[in-house]
Amino acid sequence: RDMKPENLLCMGTELVKIADFGLAREIRSRPPYTDYVSTRWYRAPEVLLHSTAYSAPIDLWAVGCIMAELYTFRPLFPGNSEIDQIFKICAILGTPDKRDWPEGYTLASNMNFKFPQFRRVPLSTLIPHATGDAINLMESMLAYNPSKRPTAQQSLRQPYFQVGGPNMRVTSLKREAASEHINARSIYPTIKNTLTLNVLPQSLNQHDYEVLLGNPAANSVLAPNNSVLAPN
């Protein structure tokens, strides 16, 4: 529940560890959850609107924000308050469609908030150096409706993580021997390994985990269960 650049520890180009589990909750836990979680710039819109029934998709929203920041070296939504944060999001993603995210409008109504009117700015305009596959991945993770954001597993199956050809797909449980392709895309490892940490099963033993990360000497941190740390 607190994914942000400062909590991603990068070791070289191939190993990323998630740190600071102070706000983490077990996957088995149930709502209501506190609505004061995650650093504002990476906070999902449902949390900004004080939802207490959010879930793992808030972490995928944060990863989308982090991925954009890796390309631009600046925060995508640098709000200076919760309300300003919503304005910053709408200024880029456009005003949410009520038909697409009715729950968001219910949350906004509960706090007497009215969404500002903005037209969507294509991420490809803001991040011109990103590939089409990268833009598609970020846009999917930055969906207003949390139910429409991909899971970590689904994100890893998107074309952005396919290297070397259609028969050579990098998944969360298998690292392919294509380091020359991966190294040529310096942003790729950080995003892939962050998502991979979110899908490794808790039952995976230390040796197998180290082999998966290609670093037998690493003392790695496992995320609980087999998905992103759910709202705590």
What confidence tens digit (pLDDT) does each residue in 7-32 have? 888 887 778 887 776 566 555 655 55
Burial class of residue 61, CB neighbours in 10 A (0-12, 13-18, 19+): buried
Rounded distance, CA 178 to CA 217, Å? 21
Neighbours of 197 (CB within 10 A): 22
pTM exceeds 0.75, yes or no: no
Under the banding of pLDDT at 50, 70 and 90, the label for residue 53 is confident
State residue 24's pLDDT score.
Answer: 61
Cα first-last separation, the chain: 7
Tokens of 113: 């908030």
If one compares 122 and 171, the residue with the highest pLDDT of the two is 122
Residue 2 annotated in active site: yes
Give 226's pLDDT tier (boundaries 50, 70, 90).
very low
Residue among 2, 97, 133, 208 flagged as catalytic:
2
pLDDT at residue 14, as a whole number: 75
Q: What percentage of the chain's residues is helix, strand, coil (to nearest 5)?
A: 40, 5, 55
What mean pLDDT is predicted for residues 95-112? 95
Give me the pLDDT at residue 20, please: 74
Domains of the chain, residue spans: 5-212
**Topology (CATH level 3) of domain 5-212:** Transferase(Phosphotransferase); domain 1 (1.10.510)
Number of H helices, E strands in the chain: 10, 2
CA atoms within 13 A on the CB side of 123: 25
- Is the preceding peptide bond at 45 cis, omega within 30 degrees of 0? no
Dist CA 35 CA 12 (whole Å) = 35
Give the pLDDT of residue 231.
36
Question: Tens of pLDDT along 137-193?
Answer: 999 999 999 999 999 999 999 999 886 545 444 443 344 333 333 333 455 666 666
